[in-house]
Structure 1
């Protein structure tokens, strides 16, 4: 897998987004404006060197280096300087911010999708809107939620690097032991709750399900599907809207399991519920395809179903990550970066990248490839996660201030699930705290 979701959801400091915005306004060269013509005058044959911060762990970094070498063999005029960019993926945003101030930032960097708003506000990103809408790019082959996340302030600033979603993963052995029917794609949240109660067994320290109360993005983004299924929205323009009746109803569905039923394991770190599922102490986990690697190692007999729904609505949330392209006022660097990422995210190369390291394919056209067939054979739940991409109909906001809002919402959820506040009280407070951080 490229990066673990645990790493991708590690809580960021509130100052990070602020620092990035300050870097756009002070130091460096400032906001250079519209970068839609960043590659105007690009000479594909000119010698050029570009830098690529992959944001990868050591194993995936080796795959990235091999792909960069393959591209350079086919394009001998291009040199790609490849590195992870930082010790951890989470540190990339801070390093990019510092690079903007000092003029030392890459041509391409891995980025979490929820950084898109802050990166766009830096004024250093290329505007790829016209580029990706050229028919040869195949932009619509990528999931709509991923394309939305790659768009900030109406401009495409990057290309999806990874796509995923949340679904219901369940341990068949625990279901069989309690005589509970397996989840189906038609389950409601009431079905989920009833099963969780039946599967909870204090004598064996087994819980029906689990939830992170670390206050991280892992805490927050698990609420968004329930919010959307109830007809709610995260924002109204740039104003918090998650504290609507829909948001309260969504959080109440989680509260009753955690507080009333005590069928929900509350993970204070967001790093324990996965191993507890793999060891047979959590029967159902709302997680994504990244979990399949460790489940495979645990040799569990498992199944995957769509998220429980509300009135037949089984919307999920996708957490796509991006390859963000930056401008250095050099047409050849801008053009070479575009061409390399187009090649990297093509159906042919993506099979050597995402599928090779255990992630879902980026493009719908990959579903009939031998590589996808091999992936599904190795990770049987992968096909359900691929099919579930059609349920990812909305995306998290790509605006400055999302990180601050996410932390506030995560803290509110944690308080509610631990019985310290009501959903309405906690969400209203989170909305109040977040209002000033969101761009007007």
Structure 2
């Protein structure tokens, strides 16, 4: 898996709009000499993720002599893959498979070169994984990575403050009061933290809170936002953390500083995913993991799945590329990727394998993230989502910085988003 700083950070650029007008042209030629079909994979993985994927590619190539997967990566990290692929599609030179963030899938499927994978059986995939690759009722990619959001906390800081450790079923009021009790300015300790630049990392943490209150991203007909009635309460929770001065606000993209404060033992609680556990373990922090707090008492979280998206460079290459991404999702390969690269099991079948159970048992708190998949939801695969996220991100930052009240910030956000949704996509 690539670094956690890449977690679904959206690019609000001209490249996004250009995806809708891409020429339907691609590379010619399906087979190489000797009848071997070569498949070009752009994955953008680094470090452990690249090492894990390289090993799987070799394993596939060794067992499928008529297909050769070339995993060059595309020359960019996963953060920049959308722009890279979009430019390649416009130029008529694009990969057979690319690692595309789930939040970008709806935009990239504007291109006629994205293959429809609706014939692929995803019945064993977690609902969040299926939903993330489904656009307008059709499967447009294969799940590549799965995560969920929970709260990781520092046991030492709780003990030092004499505060009971959180348990499943706790509320957002509990979270706010706990953060205030653990906040210790004299020792440079914050109760918790939140990304403060207004990007997708700022926003995606809000959706479980909105869903919990009965809201949603957009209405069923897609003509207006569906968080207008509950958003003020959600932003109000952040405002309370701000006014209590128990909230560290990360001013830089990627949340790196937020995580560094936690890893440095100066933050009591952080909402994060399983990708952060290796770093927590490496720092020797005595930690615990609990589900997100709730307003209603009913557990809900968010997952931000990424995808393997297949592009049409001819029938033979489409067939070979599809075979490879299906093979990656098979539990025997999925479990290798999950353990080595830091993902959660894409399939429920994988989660039941002895190898995964052993890994989950050996990694404190990991099973909490897996169990959270039972209530995990995903953001809608709609082309307007990046702009909605941008407006909500701006509103959130205005509240975090004390520049606007939750009500005023939300009102401006809703107005801008509804104007956007009123224009047919």
Alpha-carbon displacement from aligned partner over 1:166-202 (angstroms, at most 9, x marks no partner) = 1111100001111111111110111111111100011
Q: Give ranges in structure 2 of 5+ residues lacking alignment.
A: none
> Partner of 1:256: helix, strand, or coil?
helix
1:259-298 mapped onto 2 (5 Å cutoff): 260-269=243-252, 270-298=255-283
> Residues of 2 paired with 1:8 and 1:304: CA distance?
19
1:254 equivalenced with 2:238 (yes/no) = yes
- Please tell me the root mean square deviation across aligned C-alpha atoms, in Å: 2.0
Match of 2:54 among 55, 65, 80: 65
Match of 1:178 among 161, 164, 168: 161
1:319 equivalenced with 2:304 (yes/no) = yes
User: How many equivalent residue pairs?
Assistant: 415
Q: Tell me the equivalent position of 1:136.
A: none
Once the two structures are TM-superposed, the CA of residue 271 in structure 1 deviates from its matched residue by 1.7
Once the two structures are TM-superposed, the CA of residue 375 in structure 1 deviates from its matched residue by 2.2
Structure-2 change in CA distance of 1:11 and 1:116 (3 Å) = closer
> Residues of 1 paired with 2:99 and 2:288: CA distance?
31
Contact 2:49 2:340 in 1 (8 A): no
Q: Tell me the equivalent position of 2:382.
A: 399
Contact 1:234 1:241 in 2 (8 A): yes
Q: Tell me the equivalent position of 2:177.
A: 194
Structure-2 change in CA distance of 1:86 and 1:399 (3 Å) = farther
> Residues of 2 paired with 1:251 and 1:80: CA distance?
47
Q: Tell me the equivalent position of 1:29.
A: 25
> Residues of 2 paired with 1:160 and 1:424: CA distance?
37
Once the two structures are TM-superposed, the CA of residue 58 in structure 1 deviates from its matched residue by 3.8
Once the two structures are TM-superposed, the CA of residue 303 in structure 1 deviates from its matched residue by 0.5
Contact 1:243 1:428 in 2 (8 A): no
Once the two structures are TM-superposed, the CA of residue 16 in structure 1 deviates from its matched residue by 2.8
Query: Which piece of structure 1 moves more, 249-258 or 107-116?
Result: 249-258
Structure-2 change in CA distance of 1:87 and 1:59 (3 Å) = same
> Partner of 1:272: helix, strand, or coil?
helix
Q: Tell me the equivalent position of 1:56.
A: 45
> Residues of 1 paired with 2:273 and 2:336: CA distance?
21
> Residues of 1 paired with 2:373 and 2:269: CA distance?
20
> Partner of 1:29: helix, strand, or coil?
coil
> Residues of 1 paired with 2:259 and 2:198: CA distance?
17
> Partner of 1:142: helix, strand, or coil?
coil
Once the two structures are TM-superposed, the CA of residue 46 in structure 1 deviates from its matched residue by 5.2
Q: TM-score, normalised by structure 2?
A: 0.93
1:165 equivalenced with 2:155 (yes/no) = no
Contact 1:345 1:362 in 2 (8 A): yes
1:16-415 mapped onto 2 (5 Å cutoff): 16-23=15-22, 27-29=23-25, 47-132=36-121, 139-236=122-219, 237-258=221-242, 260-269=243-252, 270-328=255-313, 330-392=314-376, 394-415=377-398
Q: TM-score, normalised by structure 1?
A: 0.90
> Partner of 1:93: helix, strand, or coil?
helix
